[in-house]
A and B are shown apart, each in its own frame.
Chain A
Amino acid sequence: MKEKILPKEQLPQILKTLLESYKVFAPIKKNGFYVFGEIETPDEIALNYLNSKIPPKEIFYPRTEVLFTFTKSPQGIDIQEAINPSESRVIFGIRPCDAKSFTLLDKFFSYGKFKDPYYQTRRENTLLIGLACVNPRSTCFCTSINGSPFGEEGLDILFVDLGDKYFVKSLNLKGDELLDQLPGLTPASEKDRFNMTELLKKVLASMTPEIPIENINTKLEQLFDEEVFWDQFSQKCIGCASCTFLCPTCTCFDVVDEETSSSGKRIRLWDTCQFPLFTLHGSGHNPRPTKRQRLRQRVMHKFSYYPKTLDEIGCVGCGRCIIVCPVNQDIREVFKALQET
């Protein structure tokens, strides 16, 4: 754990150094919104952002990826795995909530005795450098879910914007090592540390009040069959699934084979519980035929099943689902209604 100070004008230098030995992903502005993309020069970065519209999970868990290819030969079927050890990478400027989402994805992709090698190989070689939120959105509710705008979970290094300089904190050994290689850093003083804590206090005070979510999973379980409760929300859902596609912790996928008579590949693609097809059985039966059940699934999975199986809430409070929903489905309303029942 090291604490340093970086004058803001030195940032390009840092990025340049990183670019020499890493593939660097950072927020960039595209089509009027922010996404995480690979940058080649320091000036492509756009740090003046609230949060990226598309969560950075894509970097480890792409929208579509080939798992393996197969070819038929007279000798039989030849299978080629498509796991490519990735080059060393850095994600720079990631928000604490998104960094935390990776700890959830980590758990999901290594649940039980199976590890997902596709996710793992990309994840292993990647360092996460976070940028604390000094300007959280009104839709952010990370603090309600054990997170913080200055949260450190999942990160190797955290940057905090103190106005004309960054407070830079390494959070583990990997972070320490990286900091040692970066130019322009000076040790942080007591005053800097004080400023940072003060800033955190100010930011926390500016945030939308916490939503009480204790006992949420038991409450949800009791309400499982309450149609009226779920209907009040699901009624207006149009099932577009933007909420799940753009959620940093949603991981559901579909696997399809694409083949010709002699060769083919197996592909994994993002899928979503918001589509009826997701649960449609071969027999034609669908255990979640209505949007009531599908919305319930989205809520239950994150706030009841996740705590049960992985001991943690499967939501990081980034508020993306609230922002992106075309009909303004606001998950905080569900929590509120839960409090009232």
Chain B
Amino acid sequence: MEKLEKIMQDTAKHFLQEQKVDLIIGYKQGTIPLRTTPCFVTKPEDISQLVWNVCCDHDLTNFLLQPEYKDKKVGIIVKGCDARALVVCMAEGQIERKMVTIIGMPCPGMIDRKRIESELEPKEILVAEITEDQIHLKGKDFEQTLQKDDYIQASCKSCRYNNPPVCDVLIGGQPIELSFNDDLDEKLAELEAKSPDERWTYFTTLLSDCIRCYACRNACPLCYCKECFVDQTQPQWVGKTTNISDIMFYHMIRAFHVAGRCVECGACTRACPMNIDLRLITRKLQNIVKDRYGFEAGLDPNVPPPMGTHTMEDPQEFITEPE
């Protein structure tokens, strides 16, 4: 990955020097081990701050929608999932293709620092070194080596598009093929085979910890509404409490609002401070729009999102038609 990092820096620098872009949004080293933090580079000489490693899990497209970048030419570092989110924003007319220079990274899968940290607690990681397939960790009285593949983020294991489907340059020129063992589809099938009551129990248990902080919404690159339904008060459709009915209401509508748009980047699950795993819901959303409308989000900016279009022939097996 160091090689790619170098190429990425050179490419970004080139874009800045040529004034093809006003700024580059990328990642730099964070303040604690296994963390990177978004960084905004405007001067070519600062480009060496940019890093590329398996801790670059944050989705940077979020920033493009912010007013301060509206009229800027932005170069942005994206993984497969980020590029897809970008494509959705473009398809929805939120971002102009010509304003963005997409620097695509073939993504090898990001590591799950939350899980590593939680498994190690009460030991604390002070230094982390990551090689091609290992993670070396050091702390006060310990040293430990983990196999990288064992600690890939769950959402990356089930990723279907780790290489950006749309970009201006693909750093390194070589897509990466992923081959992780992933059981998300099996888990989903298992859940779907259960009775509604069992599924209700599953979801109410899963979501009972939700504190309604909306970090899942805010982290989502596609939740860009100026006023979110949970913030509306006149009328207030969704109760704001942690009553389970209100929680379910929130999650049903949140899922509905990202249906056909969600690119399974996993940002929501990653951001949740309560470690609630929303991936079965997001995978289900992919299947729903695929099965019904043959659609996959984030692959082509010129195809309208399924909820923004319709045909006379749409499936309607669910319509009550009495004999």
Q: In the complex, is A directly touching B at CB under 8 Å?
A: yes
Interfacial residues, chain A to chain B (CB-CB below 8 A): 30-34, 48-50, 53-54, 63-64, 135, 137-139, 206, 235-236, 238-242, 245-246, 254, 256, 258, 267, 269-270, 272, 275, 277, 322-324, 326-330, 332-333
For the residues of A in contact with B, the DSSP-based class is: loop
B215 with A326: CB separation less than 8 A: yes
* Complexed CA–CA distance, A48 and B236 (Å): 44
B212 with A328: CB separation less than 8 A: no
Q: A residues within 8 A CB of B174? A: none
A241 with B215: CB separation less than 8 A: yes
Interfacial residues, chain B to chain A (CB-CB below 8 A): 30-32, 35-40, 58, 62-63, 114-115, 118, 121-122, 124, 126, 140, 209, 211-215, 218-219, 231, 236, 239-243, 267, 270-271, 273-276
Which residue of A236, A238, A329 is within 8 Å of B218 (Cβ)? A238
* Complexed CA–CA distance, A272 and B44 (Å): 38
In the A-B complex, list the 3 residue pairs whose CB atoms are closest, starting with the nearest: A328-B37, A240-B215, A240-B218
Q: B residues within 8 A CB of A330? A: 30-32
* Minimum C-beta distance from B156 to chain A (A): 16
Q: A residues within 8 A CB of B38? A: 235-236, 327
Which residue of A270, A277, A326 is within 8 Å of B231 (Cβ)? A277
User: Which residue on A lies nearest to B241, using beta carbons?
Assistant: A64
A327 with B58: CB separation less than 8 A: yes
Which residue of A63, A206, A235, A332 is within 8 Å of B212 (Cβ)? A63
Q: A residues within 8 A CB of B63? A: 236
B273 with A245: CB separation less than 8 A: yes
* Minimum C-beta distance from B249 to chain A (A): 13
* Minimum C-beta distance from A316 to chain B (A): 18
Q: B residues within 8 A CB of A254? A: 240
* Minimum C-beta distance from A124 to chain B (A): 25
* Minimum C-beta distance from B279 to chain A (A): 14
* Complexed CA–CA distance, A53 and B37 (Å): 21
From B35, B39, B126, name the one whose CB has the most chain A CB atoms within 10 angstroms: B35
Q: A residues within 8 A CB of B271? A: 240, 242, 326
A48 with B118: CB separation less than 8 A: no
A333 with B31: CB separation less than 8 A: yes
The answer to whether A206 and B242 touch (CB under 8 A), given A135-B122, A135-B124, is no
Q: B residues within 8 A CB of A242? A: 213, 215, 271, 273
For this complex, 15 residue pairs linking A to B, each with C-beta atoms less than 8 Å apart, are A32-B114, A33-B275, A50-B121, A54-B273, A63-B212, A64-B241, A236-B40, A236-B63, A238-B219, A241-B213, A242-B215, A256-B241, A322-B32, A326-B58, A330-B31
Q: How many A-B pairs with Cβ below 8 Å?
A: 108
B273 with A138: CB separation less than 8 A: no
Which residue of A48, A135, A267 is within 8 Å of B140 (Cβ)? A135
The answer to whether A206 and B140 touch (CB under 8 A), given A32-B118, A63-B211, A240-B213, is yes
A258 with B118: CB separation less than 8 A: no
From A48, A50, A242, A258, name the one whose CB has the most chain B CB atoms within 10 angstroms: A242
* Minimum C-beta distance from A177 to chain B (A): 32
A137 with B124: CB separation less than 8 A: yes
* Minimum C-beta distance from A285 to chain B (A): 15
* Complexed CA–CA distance, A328 and B29 (Å): 10
Which residue of B35, B241, B274 is within 8 Å of A267 (Cβ)? B241
Which residue of A139, A238, A275, A329 is within 8 Å of B62 (Cβ)? A238
B31 with A332: CB separation less than 8 A: yes
A64 with B124: CB separation less than 8 A: no
The answer to whether A326 and B219 touch (CB under 8 A), given A50-B121, A63-B242, A332-B31, is yes
Q: A residues within 8 A CB of B236? A: 256
Q: A residues within 8 A CB of B35? A: 328
A53 with B273: CB separation less than 8 A: yes
* Minimum C-beta distance from B86 to chain A (A): 16
